[in-house]
Structure 1
């Protein structure tokens, strides 16, 4: 219990760690650096899904639970995408009133963090030692640049840096609750573990292909982003084999 709580807190608060940079930045984040960070994170999450979550789901439950879990992971993210308008944080050029767009950003990011928290929780319910920590690490790395981008957007909407930091940090806090929910569900209903692992993999793969890769290729930095993706992939493989 203490391990999943600590892991979920660290993963969720990574949003705040990323947003913390806004307090010390004088200039905005360059598109090249932003794209490379997103691509590096995509590589981390891809490796975690394909080399940890999916093999473990197959081992503990077989192919059918894997397909069902991945399907529901993708379905939940798809429903969120369709019902919460997606806003391109990095490529927004013009200012829009805080009451309209910034609140939508906060709501969208918060809701998108729900399946990420579930992913962390079900990973800690796995019988394989270290799976939970690795997935929490992968999700945390994804949360850090997300928190910075949210904070940057809010600052561009004339919100003070301190308030932007606090708001961005709070968007990740929901992951703590959903991580505990996912952990308890899969811990006390044992047959859900392979489904939960596959759900986490499906959600992460959706985020990688639908969000992170397209976002990292939007400003002409495709080549360096590709290199960053491969480095992230290899880095996670190193962690998995330590």
Structure 2
């Protein structure tokens, strides 16, 4: 066996030059990513608001990952419990939208010189923009093509499971955005309350995502890994929100309203319908009210 055959046997490719180029490409990409990460870290160290947003978003992502851990040991979670947890998450997000985003947004607009009608109009327009942006993202992202072509009852379960997973991942983006905008609002106590509330409701979200995948027949390790990964967009959203608002204080009311609108869209379009789909409306509503009260107490106590 010559050198080319030996290399092809170990590389899994009949072309050693192509194999080498591929490995070099991955190495260059890794080095580039490392350098970008280092530059970003230096940027965060010189911009405390962005650093705080990154930490807050990372804690929320960690809470999502933490929620998947029970699936490692047990996968028993009734549909009623899932719907109650969904309602709880919706209640936390609803209270966060009102107390941590809309009310501070109105105050910021008034401080910027807007009157009562002007402040209300500004927040109303930004809320509608946030909802419209999420609607556009849902329509434009090709999440349904991921499982295109599947037919029959089992495939319908897989389709609904994957659409649900994508919906949860998508709605984590405005949560991260809300955290970033909150820290950029120069009110660390209120921002901490918001980040804490979002992290609390991310725990059951991670659990429900992992359980849904496990129930659809996927391996436990895959279900846990994807449940953890669903929260990784939150640090990204937090950084984007903090950077955008830090560039211009005049954008603060718009950013707060936009984040609130995006969260309200997710609550109405995804979470509440999913929590009511299986006939446990009373439990889901009870969870929503409990989550709302908990987030309200966090916001008023810390803010």
**TM-score of the alignment, normalized to the shorter chain, above 0.5:** yes
Counterpart for residue 227 of structure 2: 168
Q: Is the 8 A contact 1:155 1:161 kept in 2?
A: yes
Counterpart for residue 89 of structure 1: none
Q: 1:20 aligns with which of 56, 69, 76?
A: 69
Q: Deviations over 1:13-72 (max 9, x none)?
A: 222112222111143x11111111111121111111122311111111122331232112
Counterpart for residue 90 of structure 1: none
Structure 2: how far apart are the matches of 1:106 and 1:227? 24
Q: Is the 8 A contact 1:102 1:154 kept in 2?
A: yes
Q: Is the 8 A contact 2:89 2:205 kept in 1?
A: no
Match status 1:60 vs 2:108: yes
Displacement after TM superposition at 1:147 (Å): 1.9
Q: 1:203 aligns with which of 262, 265, 275?
A: 262
Give the direction of change, closer, same or farther, for the CA distance of 1:80–1:138 in structure 2 (3 Å limit). Answer: farther
Give the direction of change, closer, same or farther, for the CA distance of 1:98–1:173 in structure 2 (3 Å limit). Answer: farther
Give the direction of change, closer, same or farther, for the CA distance of 1:221–1:99 in structure 2 (3 Å limit). Answer: closer
Which sections of structure 1, spanning at least 5 residues, go unmatched?
Answer: 87-92
Match status 1:178 vs 2:237: yes
Structure 1: how far apart are the matches of 2:198 and 2:222? 24
Structure 1: how far apart are the matches of 2:262 and 2:280? 25
Q: Is the 8 A contact 2:88 2:201 kept in 1?
A: no
Displacement after TM superposition at 1:138 (Å): 2.9
Counterpart for residue 129 of structure 1: 188
3-state SS of 1:130 partner: helix
3-state SS of 1:57 partner: helix
Structure 1: how far apart are the matches of 2:286 and 2:159? 37
3-state SS of 2:84 partner: helix
Tell me how large the CA RMSD over aligned residues is.
2.6
Structure 2: how far apart are the matches of 1:99 and 1:234? 35
Displacement after TM superposition at 1:107 (Å): 5.0
Match status 1:50 vs 2:109: no
Give the direction of change, closer, same or farther, for the CA distance of 1:100–1:239 in structure 2 (3 Å limit). Answer: closer
With the length of structure 2 as denominator, give the TM-score of the two structures. Answer: 0.69
Give the direction of change, closer, same or farther, for the CA distance of 1:153–1:36 in structure 2 (3 Å limit). Answer: closer
Instruction: Give the 5 Å matches for 1:215-226.
Output: 215-226=274-285
Displacement after TM superposition at 1:98 (Å): 11
Counterpart for residue 139 of structure 2: 82
Displacement after TM superposition at 1:94 (Å): 5.0
Structure 2: how far apart are the matches of 1:17 and 1:50? 27
Displacement after TM superposition at 1:230 (Å): 1.6
Q: Which has the higher contact order (CA 8 A, sep 6+)?
A: 1
Structure 1: how far apart are the matches of 2:295 and 2:251? 26
Q: Deviations over 1:133-190 (max 9, x none)?
A: 2222233234323322222233234432123212221121122122111101101221
Q: Deviations over 1:66-107 (max 9, x none)?
A: 123211210111112323458xxxxxx954399988776655
Q: Is the 8 A contact 2:171 2:266 kept in 1?
A: no
